[in-house]
Amino acid sequence: MKRKGKEERGKAQGNNLSPFHLRLFPYSFDLQLFAAEDEGRTEAPSGKKIATARGKGQVAKSAEITTVLTLFAGVLVLTYILPRIVGYQIRHMKYFLENLSTLELSESTLILHLVEIVLHLLAVLWPIMLVEIVVSIGSNVAQVGWLFTWEPLKPQWNKIFPDPKKLIDRMVIGKTMLFNLTKSVLKVGVIGIIAWYTIIDFLPELLATWGMQPYKTVQLIGEVAFELVKKICIFLILIAIGDYFYNRYQHTESLKMKKEEVKDESKQSEGDPLVKQAQRRKMMTMSRRRMMKEIPTADVIITNPTHLSIGIKYDQGSMAAPTVIAKGEGFMALKIRQIATEHGVPIIENKPLAQALYRGVELGSEVPPDLFRAVAEVLAHVYRLRRKAS
């Protein structure tokens, strides 16, 4: 009995631990508590929620893509303009070395020399800087499209002082933390292996640099560096693709909605169903009132004989075909016949025609061509009765 009571208490506390585990770990806790707020978010995010999140700067993108593209573009541009940079630097150093004895070093001239050096560096490095800026902006635009918002820069208290449960979940047991940790370990390990094998391939040439001329040494080091960066960029591109798709998945998961949220959003966008139902009832009531007012102007009422009543009107001067101005079944059919009787509108029993008109013709619509002949015969009969009565 005691064992059973302990097991029940363990289940009531939210864990399925055995009595032995309860004795061994008396202070254990359920990690599912950290995911309690996310339970029930099973519905895909709506277009409105995605648009709202986008307006706040919450989009699915990977920083790895921007990093690897800027790195690769920078190395590529540097490879092409490196001779130009070296030539500029040689001419600059040659100028200073040749005029070192005649240069006047004072407070004013020192500032001028510093400005000249900065301008020289900008003149040399501006192609790399321009390419880096263009690639950085282009990679972000390619991922999320054109988006400019100040929302991410606004201070948010939930980010400054985050919820402890969510913070622990993010830092300790979160999927994002685990993915980023795995990604970082993989990057360090694989880049180390790439660097090792690349250096091993060039090791004989590198060991022979002690006897080379400086220019040849620099050329060899540049070749090794370019080969190393090229292989690392290829690996980082694969990492960036995986990171991008994971961020898309994580972004969609973070925007998932509860069923109650979907219902509330549907009410806000489409209106409360109760209000819409009341509006429909009001419209039907108004339509029936207009229909009742039209009954006295009908040429004939075709019946089933008791369940259906359809009012037909035809004005040769204003109508292309006879029109159904009233229709109803049950109580409404009795009401139509009652008003027609009070105003002397002829009532003709024709079961097939009444059923066809009730099912196939909407209120206020013209009679279809396949029913022209049957309706014409009824109207001709009514007109003959009127001539006889007159």
| 182-218 residue pLDDT tens | 888 998 999 999 999 988 988 888 888 777 777 788 7
pTM of the model: 0.49
Structure confidence by residue, pLDDT tens digits, 81-107? 777 777 777 777 777 777 766 767 677
Give the rounded distance of the alpha carbon of 24 from its chain centre: 48
CA torsion 17→22→27→32, rounded to 10°?
10
Identify the top-confidence range among 29-38, 65-74, 159-168. Answer: 65-74
The ranges of the chain annotated as CATH 3.40.1690.10 are 293-389
Q: Comparing 89-98, 306-315, 337-346, 379-388, which segment has the lowest mean pLDDT? A: 89-98
Q: What totals of helices (H) and strands (E) does the chain contain, helices first?
A: 15, 4
pLDDT of residue 20: 37
Query: For residue 311, what is the DSSP state?
Result: E
Which tokens hold the place of 2? 């005691």
Residue 374 in this model has a pLDDT that exceeds 70:
yes
pLDDT of residue 33: 39
Cα–Cα dist 331/337, whole Å = 10
Cα–Cα dist 378/248, whole Å = 68
CB 366 within 8 A of CB 322: yes
Cα–Cα dist 189/194, whole Å = 9
Cα–Cα dist 26/9, whole Å = 13
Cα–Cα dist 276/268, whole Å = 12
pLDDT of residue 27: 41
What are the C-alpha distances in Å from 244 to residues 62, 147, 152, 185, 360? 5, 18, 20, 18, 56
How large is the greatest C-alpha to C-alpha distance in the chain, in angstroms? 135
Cα–Cα dist 361/368, whole Å = 8
Structure confidence by residue, pLDDT tens digits, 151-168? 666 666 666 666 666 666
CATH architecture entry for 293-389: 3-Layer(aba) Sandwich (3.40)
pLDDT of residue 190: 92
CB 337 within 8 A of CB 309: yes
- 3-state class of 220 per DSSP? helix
Percent of the chain, pLDDT > 70?
79
pLDDT of residue 270: 60
pLDDT of residue 2: 43
Position with higher pLDDT, 81 vs 376: 376
pLDDT of residue 173: 55
Residue 225 in this model has a pLDDT that exceeds 50:
yes
The single residue listed with the structure tokens 């918002």 is 149
Which residues are CB-neighbours of 54 under 8 A, at least 6 positions away? 144, 147
Report the pLDDT averaged over residues 319-348: 89
CB 316 within 8 A of CB 345: no
Q: Which class for 286: exposed (0-12), middle (13-18), buried (19 or more C-beta within 10 A)?
A: exposed
Query: For residue 206, what is the DSSP state?
Result: H
pLDDT of residue 13: 44
pLDDT of residue 29: 38
The single residue listed with the structure tokens 């390619």 is 142
pLDDT of residue 9: 46
Position with higher pLDDT, 295 vs 146: 295
Cα–Cα dist 208/205, whole Å = 5
CA torsion 62→63→66→72, rounded to 10°?
-110
Helix residue ranges per DSSP H, 36-168: 47-55, 63-98, 107-144, 157-160, 164-168
pLDDT of residue 161: 62
Position with higher pLDDT, 277 vs 346: 346
The DSSP result for 230-257, as a single string, is: HHHHHHHHHHHHHHHHHHHHHHHHHT-B
Position with higher pLDDT, 335 vs 26: 335
Cα–Cα dist 299/154, whole Å = 72
Cα–Cα dist 208/222, whole Å = 15
Cα–Cα dist 223/207, whole Å = 15
Strand partners, 347: 301
Residue 16 in this model has a pLDDT that exceeds 60:
no
pLDDT of residue 280: 78
pLDDT band at 56 (very low <50, low <70, confident <90, very high): confident
Mean predicted lDDT score pLDDT of the chain: 77
pLDDT of residue 116: 77
Residue 23 in this model has a pLDDT that exceeds 50:
no
pLDDT of residue 192: 92
